[in-house]
Amino acid sequence: MINPNLDYTLDFLADVPEPGLATRAWRFSNVVWLAAYAYAGYKGTQLWTRFIDDRNKAELYRRQDLRAAQALNRTALRLEGLLIKACQFIATRADVLPDEWVSTVSGLHDRVPPRPFAMIREQIERELRRPLEAVYAEFDPVPLASASLAQVHQARLHDGRRCAVKVQYPGIDGIVRADLRNMTTVLRWLAMIERDFDYRVLMREALKYIPMELDFIHEADNSATMRANFAADSFVLVPEVYREFTTRRVLTMELADGVKVTDIDGLERAGIDKHLVAQKLIEIFCDQVLRDGFFHADPHPGNILVQPGPKIVLLDFGLAKDFPPTFRDGIVRLTFSILTSNRDGIIAAFRELGFRTRNGNPDTLLAFADLFLGNTIKSKKAYADKDLIEQFNEELPRAIRANPIVEVPADVLLVGRMMGLLSGLGKSLDSQVDLFTTIMPYAQRLMMAQQSPAPAVSSDAPANTPAGK
């Protein structure tokens, strides 16, 4: 398996030609207009309710949420590329984002307007270096799904195997490169205007990881690793990749049917218990992070299907991460310390993972622990809700201003992103998962395996810790 690193991701797009000057300018102007429109709307609402009239404040913000989300949806459909990926992430955060945002952009998970079949045929034949009919006995020109970077078609190989063929849009790598540059510039301007909203660290992580999603050989390697890790688990299906018909821009794999994980009516019609699905999802991702040290970092609804059983079908491993053993051990110690409310253990684990603050005061790290997992555990909820996020959004900026975090390890941000996506799915599934009793056995076993002294359990920790899973 390719072991992704920063050099790989920076080099990957180095020789990719960007669109022409006129196209780049058009895309940049669209991104600037969107940012300015949304910012002006929220700033105007904030000033109006603060200094003029705060009646109907909630309704005013609801209307602004809808206007901004509709503008983002229109711009994403017009530009496609990276903005659609941003919308896909927003649509997973039903736990913390307004309904107006989630419902408006949720259709962009797998219903992006498809590219013409003639363009797709040409891309396949160019990549596989043979006529389409020489590879596939049947090929449905109507895509099963179309997303931000590629679309998927149903086909059948000449030996009878049914397959799904994922085809990258021609020229999308150059568009992604241009969009990354544009969004970096706009976020830099936003940080200059509103210093409390500096998201450039997230943009730097996007520069590292998004290019990986454009390399289908990398995705095939990740898929093979995940398939091997769950080979003995009857609750998980990872489709097989057919390597002989896979290149950097075309991926041919086993076709797996199922109900989209957020299709609650579809799950009910199939006789699938949504609460059991939520439980299995948490267990599967605990296995990935805490057992294997290799996890699917993009579990949005378009990448997860459910079959009766339930059996969870995992798709699209363009964004997956392989932890070094030392990093996984650090995550285990951090998780165990949060679960047991061990303040000293939390601070030590964060520092071991590579977090650095300006003056060394641990308050900011403790606030990050609440974001990572602590608030959800303390609330005894299966996902972070709006009240928890609002409380965090009030407390964390104060801690960061007093003691800025100057170094955040990239792997932790990916874990946090994955947990955010799962939290959103938990909200959609009305999850009843007890996170403490689900996660604690993993942490206990791994702490014992590390043969490290376990942090003492504080009096604030829940008392019903299970002995094992």
Q: Which residues are catalytic?
A: 298
Torsional sign, CA 247, 163, 295, 445: negative
The label of the residue with tokens 């009878």 reads 160
Do the Cβ atoms of 315 and 240 come closer than 8 Å?
no
Torsional sign, CA 47, 52, 54, 58: negative
Contacts of 94 by beta carbon, 8 Å cutoff, 6+ apart: 102, 424, 427, 428
What the block records as the tokens of 320 is 């997956």
What the block records as the tokens of 101 is 């945002």
CA distance 128 to 295: 29
Q: Secondary structure of 276-309 in the HEC alphabet?
A: HHHHHHHHHHHHHHHHHCEEECCCCHHHEEEECC
Q: DSSP readout, 433-460?
A: --HHHHHHHHHHHHHHHTT-PPPPPPTT
> For 358-405, where are the alpha helices, taking DSSP H only?
363-369, 375-379, 386-402
Q: What is the helix (H) or strand (E) element at residue 163, kind and residue range? A: strand 162-168
Contacts of 260 by beta carbon, 8 Å cutoff, 6+ apart: 110, 266, 301, 302, 304, 305, 306
Q: Secondary structure of 186-226 in the HEC alphabet?
A: HHHHHHHHCCCCCCHHHHHHHHHHHHHHHCHHHHHHHHHHH
Q: What are phi and psi of 34, to 5 degrees?
A: -60, -50
Q: DSSP readout, 246-285?
A: --SSEEEEE----EETT-HHHHHHTT--HHHHHHHHHHHH
**Residue type for position 367:** A
Do the Cβ atoms of 138 and 158 come closer than 8 Å?
no
